[in-house]
Amino acid sequence: MATGIKDKVAIIGMGCTRFGERWDVGAEELMVEAFQECIEDAGIDKKDIQAAWLGTCMDEVNVGKSALPLSMSLRLDKIACTRVENFCASGTESLRGAVYAVASGAYDICLAMGVEKLKDTGYGGLPAGGSSSGSLNWLWLPALTAPGSFAQLASAYAAKYKVPDDDLKLALAHVSAKSHANGALNPKAHLRKAVTVEQILAAPIIAHPLGLFDCCGVSDGAACAIVTTPKIAKDLGKKDFVSIKALQLALSSGEEMGFNAWDGDHFLTTSKASTEAYKEAGVKDPRKEISMMEVHDCFSITEFVTMEDLHISPRGGALKDVMDGFYNLDGGVPCQVDGGLKCFGHPIGASGLRMIYEMYLQLHGRADKRQLKDPKLGLTHNLGGFPFMNVCSIAIVGKYGV
Amino acid sequence: MIGIVSYGGYIPKLRLQRMSIFASMGWFAPAVMAVAQGERSMCNWDEDSLTMAVAAARDCLAGMDKKKVDALYLCSTTLPFADRQNSGIVSTALNLNENVLTADFTASQKVATTGVATALDALKGGEKKSVLVVAADKRDAKTAYFYEMWFGDGAASLLLGTENVIAEFLGSYSISRDFVDHYRGSMSKYDYNWEERWVRDEGYSKIIPEVVNGLLKKCNLTPKDISKFVFPCFFKREHRGIAKTLGFSPEQVVDNMHEVCGETGAAHCLAMFISALEEANPGDKILVASFGQGSDALLFQVTDNIKKLPARMGIKGSLANRKEVDSHQKFLKFRDLIQTEMGIRAEAPTQTALTTLYRKRDFLLGFIGGECRKCGTRQIPMHDICVNPDCGSVYSQDPVEFADTSAIIKTFTADMLSVSVDPPNIYGMVQFETGGRILADFSDCELSDVNVGKKVKMAFRKRYYDKERGFHGYFWKAIPEAEA
């Protein structure tokens, strides 16, 4: 009988680069930058790391295949390294690999790295795959972009809950305005300018009804974590350390795309993965027990419907919570505390670990101007792919034994 | 009895206002003002001769048993493939029986009547019982000249057979003569045209009378016995003049559709012929002649069965389904006649895996999905394992056609980031009423035409053109239906 991951693995060090258009560095340098902070934070020697995972998604415009870019950039000497890729969940997948390896007893100390260098393509937005997106997909799937696929949530949500288009658009503007306000407080964030709801509403449309400010930044960056067992953490002299409470992953079976049940307005996977994560972490009432969240706000509408799939807002209730400021920094469950994908940025493979990084800083009281009062549990959420076909990962972290 | 069993037509919805050509290029070529009346049909960026042929053929096959079709002749001078049988693509898209005889008739403006005459020969010979002839053309002309004004895009289709004949075949007469009014070399993009005055006087004015007189004499008839006389000719005055010289009154001459459509290349004589059939009464005799390095003339007599033919778009319905385009630049862009900056995003690889295309041809070209024998769930594309989460049966699906199933929009967006010839790129999820759904591109619409719950029809359209390898890729798209 599986017992879950709760409190079986400790995070003893983390690092995260400044995200943004890092014209100065490539993926290799970004990994070194994140790692230096991380290993210093952990206070161990590089030789203590026995295995490492690398999460990166767009390898074609980035590091290339295999985990060699990690082992060679960090000069990890003949240890086990594995590259994982699962769309936007790649960073959390890297953590999952390291955490499970420690929990299994196979290794004592492992590294999870996530990196993405997206600004070497020569154009804005995520890279277009064309026929390299799958030999069959290319022959029939619409030429989707990320904003175009997620924007469809809005048309479906508005139709299902009979929300006037303008009301939804306004609520989405509030979602983005909140993240901009948070990002402005974060020195490592890609976008550090507060914007008004009026500015957001007036921005040019990217994919109807999403405008420019409904879309997250396409950024370069890396983030990483060093994990070990609680016992080793204690032996290393760590007190009051952070541990993993839940790690869940859920992927589409194709039901959303092929079976006439889903209305296109939310994420079946997130709904399931969050339920499992709460069970694993022992959370009964997430609206009360989750202190803070970093969710996958690739687009404002994604964050908006995710509030319902995380069972924090009731179905059809996200609009009220958003307009009430429930997810603001001073609200009931602050969301996108570090600025989110929206403003901290979204180097795909790094994002999952960057979210954990903010939770880690908050739990240790190191979040400076963004610091929340006495947070207990932090939830992170990634959504890779498209509303109709996706990968959802959820992590819950908190202080060990609390 | 041998003759026509059904007909179908397709004229693209977009109609370029001819004055827009003059407005943009009149400074350069003021003479084009002479033919700048009305509008010409123009393909959307994702339409070509193949897609129009499929549309006209589907219209023609409405209410017919298509599995009984035993030959398909595709007639056009603008087929996308020089060596890959284009009629084979049409046949697969229509889900005809694989034992059908397919052939491309090409390289002359008269090929549609040649295709029909050949089909009638096959029926007479008795080897074939049902032959589908489809003609389509999308001719390009250099900008700022008469031909850009004269030409339109369109397709027409006739199902020929021996049962339930709506117009009986009475006779034919052919002339093959290497009169080169224009030509297009095998590697050339554009026609090379000789002087119009010569084409008019030595071409139309001599060959048309000769072929018509030949047929009338053969059938022992005079112009007075003919109800409608159909022949394409973009010289408006000669169109009437030739008929008059032959002894036809203006009422007998079928309009060449210049003001509302333009000349649709090899398809035009059939498109005009169908426009006559749509108005015809039992007993009417209709004579149709083509023009292109000679001519074929064919004579039919309408039967009582024409009243029983199920309703269809035809040429009349297609012409009524129109949307005006005022931008000559849009016309040029849609036909790739001007270069615009498409951005680096557009450089994504576009190779087609021919192995994949072959394995999935029923789905990609024929829009075939599956229906689970265990739970009845329909799904497209078909999978080895049923998509119904409560079923999950393995190898349980039978193929089923989705193209004619009514569907509604579930989700949509209009995407400005996606590479598109006609931004925004509108796409979304379409749900079939009898089960199954698919993410689809939308076409022939604007953002204001789409909404959740709105009805769509599926159409065979072009998806991409791989310029590097000269490959045209096709799939099915959703076309929002006009408000009732």
pLDDT tens-digit readout, B153-191: 999 999 999 999 999 999 999 999 999 999 999 999 999
Q: Cβ distance A295 to A267 under 8 Å?
A: no
Q: Where are the domains of chain A?
A: 10-121+220-235, 145-215+244-399
Average pLDDT over residues B349-354: 95
- A10-121+220-235 and A145-215+244-399, same CATH topology: yes
In this prediction, residue B184 carries a pLDDT of 98
Please name the member of B414, B425, B437 whose beta carbon is closest to the beta carbon of A258.
Answer: B437
Confidence check: pLDDT of B484 > 60: no
Assess whether A346 carries a catalytic annotation. yes
In this prediction, residue B87 carries a pLDDT of 98
Per-residue pLDDT band for A293 (boundaries 50, 70, 90) equals: very high
In this prediction, residue B341 carries a pLDDT of 95
CATH architecture of the domain formed by A10-121+220-235: 3-Layer(aba) Sandwich (3.40)
pLDDT digits (tens, 9 = 90+) for B427-480: 999 999 999 999 999 999 999 999 999 999 999 999 999 999 999 999 999 999
Q: Looking at this predicted complex, what is its ipTM?
A: 0.95
Confidence check: pLDDT of A331 > 60: yes
Instruction: Give the chain B residue nearest A140 (alpha carbons).
Output: B475
Which residues in chain A are closer than 8 Å to B475, comparing Cβ atoms? Answer: 139-140
Per-residue pLDDT band for A220 (boundaries 50, 70, 90) equals: very high
∠ Cα A260 A262 A266 (to 5°): 160
Task: Decide if B352 touches A, using CB distance below 8 A.
Answer: yes
User: Which CATH code, of 2.40.50, 1.10.3470, 3.30.70, 3.40.1350, is assigned to B344-366+402-480?
Assistant: 2.40.50
Please name the member of B353, B387, B415 whose beta carbon is closest to the beta carbon of A259.
Answer: B387
Catalytic residue among A174, A180, A346, A381: A346
Q: Do A132 and B348 touch (CB under 8 A)?
A: yes
**Interfacial A residues in 233-292 facing B (CB < 8 Å):** 253-255, 257-260, 263-264
In this prediction, residue A49 carries a pLDDT of 98
CATH number of A145-215+244-399: 3.40.47.10
Q: Where are the domains of chain B?
A: 3-334, 344-366+402-480, 368-401
Per-residue pLDDT band for A162 (boundaries 50, 70, 90) equals: very high
Question: What whole-number distance in Å separates Cα of residue A95 and Cα of residue A98?
Answer: 5
Which CATH class name applies to B3-334?
A: alpha beta
**Block residue for tokens 């991409």:** B464
Tell which wins on pLDDT, A129 or A295.
A295
| % of chain A beyond a pLDDT of 90 | 95
Confidence check: pLDDT of A61 > 90: no
* Chain A: closest CA distance from residue B347 (Å): 8
Per-residue pLDDT band for A128 (boundaries 50, 70, 90) equals: confident
Q: Do A257 and B437 touch (CB under 8 A)?
A: yes
Tell which wins on pLDDT, A251 or A128.
A251
Please name the member of B343, B435, B447 whose beta carbon is closest to the beta carbon of A260.
Answer: B435
**Interfacial A residues in 113-172 facing B (CB < 8 Å):** 121-123, 125, 127-132, 135-136, 138-145, 147-149, 151-156, 158-159
Q: Across chain B, what does the average pLDDT equal?
A: 97
Per-residue pLDDT band for A60 (boundaries 50, 70, 90) equals: confident
Q: Do A131 and B352 touch (CB under 8 A)?
A: yes
Average pLDDT over residues A132-140: 91
Q: Do A143 and B349 touch (CB under 8 A)?
A: no
| % of chain A beyond a pLDDT of 70 | 100
The encoded tokens of residue B186 equal 């095998």
Catalytic residue among A88, A110, A224, A392: A88
pLDDT digits (tens, 9 = 90+) for B359-399: 999 999 999 999 999 999 999 999 999 999 999 999 999 99
Confidence check: pLDDT of B253 > 90: yes
Q: Do B439 and A123 touch (CB under 8 A)?
A: no
Q: Do B348 and A142 touch (CB under 8 A)?
A: no
In this prediction, residue A133 carries a pLDDT of 85
- B3-334 and B344-366+402-480, same CATH topology: no
